[in-house]
């Protein structure tokens, strides 16, 4: 571990962020161990708002040191203070896919370790011989009334189930509807979002996340076109 000369302001900001960081939603499947785990996106969902609110950036860079691949993670605060550590990556072979998977795996664990995410993740249990474990309900979800979680989950599943008759156009409309619902009802309330998502199975959660990402990409593209038009 390496740090700047002083880390008092970073430590203070991180302690505040950790008071707001929730558990990472266990919404991806590991087909090899027939288990579920919190993927990198879920880990980011759990901590991004709290880190941004407290002016903490996470920088993750893969690099080769003495012929071995490492992932270096840095926490940087707006004060200029920082802390850094490296985690070895161990791809199963030299293919790009194996290397990318190893880096993603390292990013997930390094992020969780650095900022204190309580991963609801069981894909590491095989190495300890424990095998499958029972699903874990996050503390954040437990704090939300079940009726509220189910109400939002039903609304989200209704959006997912809406037919897309006109191909990409209707699919984009569905995505925009999902984003509008999330912005109006779930944005800024990560506990409610996690609780509602836990009422759906992993497949539906992944569909919902894909719709949100699709809508955000469309908004980003529209904004880029708009900005380009203003320049001319």
pLDDT at 51 exceeding the cut of 90: yes
Distance CA 192, CA 67 (A): 45
Structural domain boundaries of the chain?
1-134, 137-232
In this structure, of 78-87, 146-155, 170-179, 220-229, the range with the lowest mean pLDDT score is 220-229
What does the pLDDT average to over 36-46? 73
Task: Give the number of C-alpha atoms closer than 13 A to the C-alpha of residue 6, restricted to the C-beta side.
Answer: 5
Between residues 177 and 195, which one has the greater pLDDT? 177
pLDDT tens across 53-86, in order? 999 999 999 999 888 999 999 999 999 999 999 9
pLDDT at 13 exceeding the cut of 90: yes
- pLDDT interval class at 228 (50, 70, 90): low
CB 56 within 8 A of CB 77: yes
pLDDT at 24 exceeding the cut of 90: no
CB 30 within 8 A of CB 36: yes
Mean pLDDT, the chain, rounded, equals 80
| DSSP codes joined into one string, the chain | -EE-S--HHHHHHHHHHHTT--PBP--EEETTTTEEE--HHHHHHHHHHHHHHTTEEEEEEEEEETTEEEEEEEEEETTS-EEEEEEE---SSSSHHHHHHHHHHHHHHHHHHHHT--B---TTGGGGT---------HHHHTS-HHHHHHHHHHHHHHHHS--TTTHHHHHHHHHHHHHHIIIIITT-HHHHHHHHTTS-HHHHHHHHHHHHHHHHHHHHHHHHHHHHHH-
In this structure, of 43-57, 118-132, 165-179, the range with the lowest mean pLDDT score is 118-132
Q: Of all residues in the chain, what percent carry a pLDDT higher than 90?
A: 32
| C-alpha dihedral, 186 to 192 to 195 to 196, nearest 10° | -30
Between residues 208 and 224, which one has the greater pLDDT? 208
Q: Per mean pLDDT, which of 69-73, 111-115, 118-122 is the most reliable?
A: 69-73
């Amino acid at each position: 571990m390496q740090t700047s000369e002083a880390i008092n302001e970073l430590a203070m900001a991180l302690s505040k962020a950790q008071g707001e960081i929730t558990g990472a939603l266990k919404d991806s499947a590991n087909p090899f161990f027939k288990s579920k785990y919190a993927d990198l996106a879920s880990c980011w969902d759990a901590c991004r708002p709290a880190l941004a609110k407290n002016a903490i950036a996470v920088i993750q860079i893969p690099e080769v040191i003495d012929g071995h691949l490492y992932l270096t993670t840095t926490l940087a605060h707006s004060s200029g203070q920082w802390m850094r550590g490296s985690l070895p990556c161990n791809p199963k072979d030299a293919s790009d896919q194996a290397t990318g998977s190893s880096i993603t795996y390292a990013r997930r664990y390094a992020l969780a370790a650095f900022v204190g995410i309580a991963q609801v993740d069981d894909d590491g249990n095989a190495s300890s011989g424990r095998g499958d474990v029972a699903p874990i309900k996050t503390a954040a979800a437990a704090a939300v009334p079940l009726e509220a979680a189910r109400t939002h989950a039903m609304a989200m599943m209704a959006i997912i189930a809406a037919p897309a008759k006109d191909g990409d156009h209707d699919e984009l409309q569905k995505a925009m509807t999902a984003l509008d619902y999330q912005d109006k009802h779930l944005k800024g309330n990560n506990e409610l979002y996690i609780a509602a998502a836990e009422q759906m199975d992993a497949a539906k959660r992944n569909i919902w996340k894909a719709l949100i990402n699709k809508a955000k990409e469309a908004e980003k593209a529209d904004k880029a076109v708009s900005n380009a038009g203003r320049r001319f």
